[in-house]
Amino acid sequence: FFLLNEDDDDDDRLRGLTKEQIDNLSTRNYGDVHTENEWSKTCSVCINEYATGNKLRQLPCTHEFHIHCID
């Protein structure tokens, strides 16, 4: 048990992206593209469908999410 949790005291580790890195990711408004893909109509974080005008953030892997779900 102690060996598995040995690194738990290291709270100074960075987790995820910095705010600056997140702010530098591209964004777009849903519906701006004339041909939205059928598979990309739902945010995988909140499981809600995108509505025209929703602001999305795009990750480098090209996955998109509501901006408020991942910021």
User: Using 50, 70 and 90 to split pLDDT, how confident is the model at 34?
Assistant: low
Classified as helix, coil or strand, 49 is strand
- Domain residue extents for the chain: 14-50
Taking the CA atoms of the chain, what radius of gyration do you get in angstroms? 17
Q: Which among 34, 39, 62 has a CA at the least distance from the CA of 50?
A: 39
Question: Does the pLDDT at position 32 exceed 80?
Answer: no
Which pLDDT value is given to residue 71? 87
**Nearest C-alpha neighbor of 69 from the set 36, 27, 32, 35:** 27
Mean residue pLDDT of the chain comes to 82
